Structure 1
Amino acid sequence: MEHITTRIQGVDVPTIAVTTVVVGTGSAGYCAADRLAMAGHTDLLVIADKIRAGASRNAGSDKQTYYKLGLGGEAPDSVADLAATLFAGGAMDGDNALVEAALSSRAFLHLVDAGVGFPTDRYGQFIGYKTDHDPRERATSVGPYTSKQMTERLEARVRVAGIPIMEGCRVVDVLVDRRAPQPRVVGLLVMNKTSAPTEQGDETAARFLLIASSNVVYATGGPAGIYADSVYPHGQWGATGAALRAGAPGKNLTEWQFGLASLAPRWNVSGSYMQVVPRFFSTDAEGGDEREFLSEALPDYGIQSSLVFLKGYQWPFDARKAADGSSVIDLLVHRETAVRGRRVWLDYRTNPMGRDFDLRALRPEAREYLERTGVDAVAPDAPPVERLRRLNRAAYDFYLERGPRVDLATDPLEVAVCAQHNNGGLEVDHWWRSPLAGLFPVGEAAGAHGVYRPGGAALNSGQVGATRAAQWIAEKGAKRPPDADVFEAAATPAVEAATGLVAAADARFRSGRPDSTAEALSSAAALMSARAGLVRSGASIRVALDETRARLARLGETIAADASSRRSVDRLFLVRDILTTQYVYLTAMADYLDHGGRSRGSVLYTEPDGDLPCREDGTGGYADLGLDKRFRFVRDDGRLDGLAQIVRADPTDGPVPPVRCSWRPVRPIPHTDEPFEVVWRTYLDDRNIN
């Protein structure tokens, strides 16, 4: 790694020349850095906005799940079976599924050797449990902080290896050499949030840092900032927009997961939080007019309690369960918040419907689980918090330890249906290479998943993708930074555009306009949640797309920012990144509908001639949810099964890039039947890195 300068418009901009840069300090980013160091690839730098921010270190649930190949018990499992499970989720490429299955044990045991405390029985077996979309018991956990512990242990390995880690770096642009026949990433323009002005007082030199790098491992997480109703931790925003602007194609961008989450603190209320059957109630904005609203559509005690319990197993919203499954709970919460404008709370102080907890009224799977785990020993008149303490004490303790502190024994917990994970992302091949050469998206930034995935598969995917990217870079990647002239040609227009945006925004601020960056961030996220969240329609997508396009087009002419405030300038670039991301994602949603897309995965699309979300079944158990009398729900008819949507924003000098959407068949699961000697021979030749 070398510290140099790049002269742009007469200004020497600080530059770091390094062969490989890893962007992100979550579990995927640290895994990539660790694997590269293990392979002897040490001309390496890890950067992040905040080292201890992000979903890996700050997100989780009652027992955050890691999904892997079965490594214990008597049930048989195989790489082929695990690949088939992952591929069955729809819209996933088969080679990605096979690689995630094949490297599952290797990635998992690497974490075990790093010190992550996955539990074993007395014989050393990694016994598992069943999670959502899981036909086996492949899941495991170290508790609420599984990914946090993964991140901490991998960071320790990276630091021991002597790999430099730099924080205070906000990605502004991905720099691309477009003069070659195939465009190639040559580095990054980042905002340096920690440097001081130079002695000459030059703000350009102080504000920006250039990183000249031939390999960019993009572990920036999902585009967390685009939704207001979000379970992503505060401080995580993502940097998907910069990669999209650079020409990296996206894949399956429409496929999100939504689920119930607490708002303060942000946390998934899955698993144990639902399995102990708390009471749901809603209030007006001021906290008055309390109503136990689930009973309006679910008046039968046994049905209501069973569906609440099942939310623990079936936590993400699932369009297939919107008629008579646990996702009815999500829709009723959505109705209260998004349609009625009320607030929703979980109550662990009082049993539902004002009656003692009746285990006998629950469905057999719920009753048997609570009996098997000893929850039946709790007195029927005891509140849900006692069942929670019995089932999973750590889940109760979490809200006592995390700010803002909530004691579930005395306080209600405010919840909403929130964006939780983007199953789509930047397109990658089976080595986690982007079609934009030199870029390696890993973790949630990579669009390796499809419509559905087993709970916890994202943690496996992040470790596998990081391992594959590191292996390819170490064996086949560039072995030195890009040439200075190539890098300068790519960096100059990016620096000029960034400094121009700051100067124009600061001029408006100096002329008396108030700083508008914070309001721009919040209004953009609110628009996305209102128009393109859990429940969408063609009309709502068009409204959001038109408004977002206009905001992006006018950004350089309307937004005001204080150039002397690093926080203000930071928000300025966040606004640009988030608006770019929203514009591309909304274009993908509109194209999805144009191609006959319907409700699937964790999203409901509506139109006037669709189906009711809930049906009358003659028992009084279900009723029309009344989300919006003008619309009925449209169920997926399978016409897009087996296809992946690819979305590419063409690089342009203007603020609104042209976006092209296309569809292709997913790559099938490779079926290889080569003799050992053949595989061995090719492995010795090139380690089968192709």
Structure 2
Amino acid sequence: MQSLQTKIKDLDLEVYNLNTVVVGSGAAGFNAADRLHNYGQKDIALVTEGINQGTSRNTGSDKQTYYKLTLAGKEDDSVLEMAKTFYAGGSMDGDIALIEAALSAQSFYHLVDIGVPFPHNRYGEYVGYKTDHDPRQRATSAGPLTSKLMTENLEKEVKNKNIKIFDGYQVISVLTDENNEKAIGLLALNLNNLEDKNKRYTLFNCKNIVYATGGPAGMYATSVYPGSQTGATGIALEAGAMGKNLTESQYGIASIKFRWNLSGTYQQVLPRYVSTDQYGNDEREFLEEYFEDPGKMLDAIFLKGYQWPFDPKKVDDYASSIIDILVYNETVIKGRRVWLDFMENPSWGSMQDGELDFSILGEESYQYLENSNSLFGNPIQRLAKMNQPAIDLYKDNGIDITKEYLEIAVCAQHNNGGLDGDLWWESNLKNFFPVGEVNGSHGVYRPGGSALNSGQVGSTRAAQYIAANYQDGPLKLDKFLELAKAEIEKKIAMGEKFINNINESSTIIDIRTQIGERMTKNGAHIRSIEAAEKGIKESKKDLDNLLEESKLKSIKELPLAFQNYDMLITQYVYLSAINDYIKKGGISRGSYLIYDSDGELPIEALPEKFRFKAENDQLRDKIQRTFYNGNSCEFSWKEVKEIPEDDNWFENVWNKYMKHEIVK
């Protein structure tokens, strides 16, 4: 890596010349840097807004899942069978499905080798369990903080290799060549030196960019993403990277004071669902108003543990996802607050002494609790019996669920779509590799834990390809500046305009709040054509007027202003994709419900906006791709690629491998 100085207008800017920059310090980003070094490319650096920020390090669940090939027992499995599971989720290319299956064992064992404590038996078999959308028992876990452990151990590997980490650098532009066909570098804010105009902006002149910035978390108000995770999808779309399956995100019930998925045992212990007004008064148990009998209500709550993501296919006949709709109805439609109470049993279904009548449970719920020796007491006692760390987790974060209610909402949790990439995770924008959640490799449905596998596989593939094909150094500095100067000057001018709007009062957080509330109302798990169109108009207007409307209290809010810019581009493009999907005849699927006047209400007492259809998905074998041209969006729909049937005759593959014809 070479450090130089250059002059842009009246600013003396630092420029770093190197082969590859990895953007992001989550599990996918650290793995990309580690793999690049192992494959021989050592002229690399990692750039991050904050090394301790991001989703990988700061999220989990009662038992956070990692999905991989079956590696224990007598159950049949194969790479092809696993690929078929991915492919069956709909709107997923077969070559990507095959790759994610093929590299799952390699990626998993790499994590084991560097110290992630996945459990194995005395014979060395890495045992598994069944997760959602999983026909086998491929899931494993290192506990509630699996992705955190992955990130920490991968970080150690990167630091042991002395790979340079630029901590406190926020990327604000992906720089491209004159035809917007190839990425050539990055412009970043130096968060450590915002006051110094000559150190405020930093340039990276690089041959390759591995983009591991995570999902677009910041554009939702109700979100289980960590508050430190905002995403940077917008500036990649702005640079010309194609979007893929942007309609497909995952939503579910989570706590909102401390953001955490409420899956698994949090639901299986059968907590009480309570609604109050905004001040915590007028308490009532609202679920019983909608169910036919207490047994069905308790079974639906229990199954939320297994079936955590909202799914319109699990709404009819009082199935588990009706809980999500009823929570949304209370919080968004009625403007109330909803809480889980682990201290008392649901009154509907309990006997006079307050004990739960376990005899009214369905067979699956009853059997699980019986096998767990938990047919007794109240929810918190059952949770302590089955999963004491689930209680400790909240206590460690300032919430004692043994003594207080836990406020909840239906929250954005994961983006199955994202930026498009080929079978080496390279974007249509050459030399630009989106990996991890920012890459839209998943289809409509995906097995639980497959995102962690995908992040490791994708970052490994990108590193392989770069090491084999893109080993050259970056452009000469004068050529780099010639191609990128206009974009650099545009973004610096934007930054200086923000700074010139420093005022006694700030609008930055108000704008952020407005962005989040708009997406939660118009583009989350309850959707309609009218809501999408309304959101598109509002987000485009806000984007066009952002410079004038942004008032900063101090220069410390400059990074937030640039984040708002990124979020508004992202929101505009995502809502446009949703609108296009509905106009194309798209129905409720995955983790969202689309209003359809010809559909049915899941429960007659619910408002009209919950009327929907979830059958005959004519788009499940197609993939929507979105191109943002700076002013509007262009869409294309193509059939999914089938799972490849390659020539696997050993001698033929060996010959190609020895001639370096595989990685191309």
Q: How do 1:115-126 residues align onto structure 2 when only pairs under 5 Å count?
A: 115-126=115-126
Counterpart Cα distance in 1 of 2:130 and 2:610: 36
Counterpart Cα distance in 1 of 2:624 and 2:201: 35
The alignment partner of 1:235 has SS state of: coil
Residue of structure 1 aligned with 2:604, choices 624, 634, 656: 624
Counterpart Cα distance in 1 of 2:566 and 2:531: 22
Range 10-19 or range 631-640, more displaced: 631-640
The alignment partner of 2:443 has SS state of: coil
Q: How do 1:281-360 residues align onto structure 2 when only pairs under 5 Å count?
A: 281-324=274-317, 325-353=319-347, 355=350, 356-360=355-359
Alpha-carbon offset, residue 630 of structure 1 = 5.8
- 2:517 corresponding residue in structure 1: 526
Counterpart Cα distance in 2 of 1:374 and 1:100: 38
- 1:677 corresponding residue in structure 2: 651
Counterpart Cα distance in 2 of 1:501 and 1:23: 22
- 1:617 corresponding residue in structure 2: none
Mapped contact 2:499–2:555 kept (Cα < 8 A): no
Alpha-carbon offset, residue 625 of structure 1 = 4.6
CA displacement, residues 546-590 of structure 1 (integer Å, 9 cap, x when unaligned): 11111111112332235xx34211111011000000011011011
Mapped contact 2:507–2:550 kept (Cα < 8 A): yes
Alpha-carbon offset, residue 74 of structure 1 = 1.6
Mapped contact 1:502–1:561 kept (Cα < 8 A): no
1:334/1:196 Cα in 2 relative to 1: closer, same or farther (>3 Å)? Answer: closer
1:365 alignment partner AA: E
1:99 alignment partner AA: I
Residue of structure 2 aligned with 1:423, choices 410, 416, 424: 416
Counterpart Cα distance in 2 of 1:300 and 1:486: 72
The alignment partner of 1:210 has SS state of: strand
CA displacement, residues 235-283 of structure 1 (integer Å, 9 cap, x when unaligned): 1101000100000001000001000000110000001111111111110
Range 680-689 or range 463-472, more displaced: 680-689
Counterpart Cα distance in 2 of 1:437 and 1:362: 56
Alpha-carbon offset, residue 304 of structure 1 = 0.8
Alpha-carbon offset, residue 197 of structure 1 = 4.8
CA displacement, residues 180-232 of structure 1 (integer Å, 9 cap, x when unaligned): xx72101101111002655xxxx1x2211111111100000000111111000
The alignment partner of 2:624 has SS state of: strand
Alpha-carbon offset, residue 299 of structure 1 = 4.4
Counterpart Cα distance in 2 of 1:515 and 1:636: 48
Mapped contact 1:6–1:488 kept (Cα < 8 A): no
Mapped contact 1:536–1:604 kept (Cα < 8 A): yes
2:534 alignment partner AA: V
1:389 aligns with 2:368: no
CA RMSD after TM alignment: 1.4
Counterpart Cα distance in 2 of 1:190 and 1:637: 46
- 1:399 corresponding residue in structure 2: 394
Mapped contact 2:499–2:558 kept (Cα < 8 A): no
- 1:645 corresponding residue in structure 2: 624
Mapped contact 1:215–1:478 kept (Cα < 8 A): no
- 1:369 corresponding residue in structure 2: 368
Alpha-carbon offset, residue 527 of structure 1 = 0.9
Alpha-carbon offset, residue 440 of structure 1 = 0.5
Q: How do 1:415-454 residues align onto structure 2 when only pairs under 5 Å count?
A: 415-454=408-447
CA displacement, residues 295-340 of structure 1 (integer Å, 9 cap, x when unaligned): 0111412111111111111000011112132101111111110111
- 2:206 corresponding residue in structure 1: 213
Mapped contact 1:609–1:631 kept (Cα < 8 A): no
Counterpart Cα distance in 1 of 2:661 and 2:432: 21
Counterpart Cα distance in 2 of 1:668 and 1:501: 45
- 1:191 corresponding residue in structure 2: 189
CA displacement, residues 424-448 of structure 1 (integer Å, 9 cap, x when unaligned): 0000111111110011110001000
Residue of structure 2 aligned with 1:241, choices 225, 229, 234: 234
The alignment partner of 1:257 has SS state of: strand
Alpha-carbon offset, residue 632 of structure 1 = 1.8
Residue of structure 1 aligned with 2:588, choices 588, 599, 603: 599
1:196/1:277 Cα in 2 relative to 1: closer, same or farther (>3 Å)? Answer: closer
The alignment partner of 1:214 has SS state of: strand
1:572 alignment partner AA: A
1:571 aligns with 2:542: no
The alignment partner of 2:444 has SS state of: coil
Q: How do 1:67-146 residues align onto structure 2 when only pairs under 5 Å count?
A: 67-146=67-146
Mapped contact 1:45–1:163 kept (Cα < 8 A): yes
Q: How do 1:26-37 residues align onto structure 2 when only pairs under 5 Å count?
A: 26-37=26-37
The alignment partner of 2:15 has SS state of: strand
Alpha-carbon offset, residue 50 of structure 1 = 0.8
Counterpart Cα distance in 2 of 1:673 and 1:359: 56
1:349/1:197 Cα in 2 relative to 1: closer, same or farther (>3 Å)? Answer: closer
The alignment partner of 1:587 has SS state of: helix
Counterpart Cα distance in 2 of 1:504 and 1:322: 49
Counterpart Cα distance in 2 of 1:487 and 1:658: 28
- 1:260 corresponding residue in structure 2: 253
Alpha-carbon offset, residue 483 of structure 1 = 2.1
Counterpart Cα distance in 1 of 2:637 and 2:615: 17
TM-score normalised per structure 1:
0.93
Residue of structure 2 aligned with 1:546, choices 530, 537, 542: 537
Counterpart Cα distance in 1 of 2:478 and 2:309: 49
Mapped contact 1:607–1:632 kept (Cα < 8 A): yes
- 2:637 corresponding residue in structure 1: 663
Counterpart Cα distance in 2 of 1:113 and 1:559: 48
The alignment partner of 2:442 has SS state of: coil
The alignment partner of 1:352 has SS state of: coil
1:582 aligns with 2:568: no
2:258 alignment partner AA: P
The alignment partner of 2:316 has SS state of: coil
Counterpart Cα distance in 2 of 1:597 and 1:568: 40
TM-score normalised per structure 2:
0.97
Alpha-carbon offset, residue 482 of structure 1 = 2.1
- 1:174 corresponding residue in structure 2: 174
Q: Matched residues, percent identical?
A: 46
Alpha-carbon offset, residue 107 of structure 1 = 0.2
1:409 aligns with 2:402: yes
Counterpart Cα distance in 1 of 2:313 and 2:461: 34
Counterpart Cα distance in 2 of 1:31 and 1:375: 41
Counterpart Cα distance in 1 of 2:525 and 2:605: 15
CA displacement, residues 457-511 of structure 1 (integer Å, 9 cap, x when unaligned): 000000000110011111111321222133212432223222322333344445x
1:625/1:134 Cα in 2 relative to 1: closer, same or farther (>3 Å)? Answer: farther
Structure 2 unaligned segments of length 5 or more: list them.
none
How many aligned residue pairs are there? 658
